[in-house]
Amino acid sequence: MTEEGNRGLSTKLSRFAIVGILNTVIDFATFSALVALSFPALVANFLGWAVAVIFSFAVNSRWTFERGERFSLHRAFAKFAVSGSIISLGSSTLAVYLLPPLTGLFAAKLIGILIGAILNFFAARWSIENRVI
């Protein structure tokens, strides 16, 4: 087994990107549907993120990253959700709050999702594999 485990870094990055695309669709679709139902943008942003983070953890913890021998599902999800809330929820909330006058609401949401996705790869490795880099 390599230092990276059975799956190399390029495989993990590719899988993380695929999950990220699906996660983005889920987040954005949930957000859009809730905005169309007249939910406030920040509430819709939080609920879209919550649905997407559950999907993302379920798939990334089984398919993208390799679980350690002492993997604790509850502890890993807590680390994943906390880091995700700081990174992805934080970036998308800031974007939805600050950028709409410049970009429009939906473009702002996408910008926040993209920034969060880049940072979340490292957060996911930390929470699921207990690796920093």
Residue that wins the pLDDT comparison between 69 and 5: 69
Tally Cβ neighbours within 10 Å of residue 119. Answer: 16
Per-residue pLDDT, 1: 39
Q: Which two tokens stand for residue 63?
A: 């398919």
Two structure tokens written together for 81: 């959700």
Q: Which residue has the higher pLDDT, 115 or 44?
A: 44
The tens digit of pLDDT for each residue in 61-73 reads 888 887 766 768 8
pLDDT value at 4 more than 70: no
Distance between CA atoms of residues 95 and 3, nearest Å: 37
Q: Which of 90, 86, 102 is nearest to 42 (CA)?
A: 90
Q: What mean pLDDT is predicted for residues 94-117?
A: 93
| Structure confidence at residue 29 (pLDDT) | 97
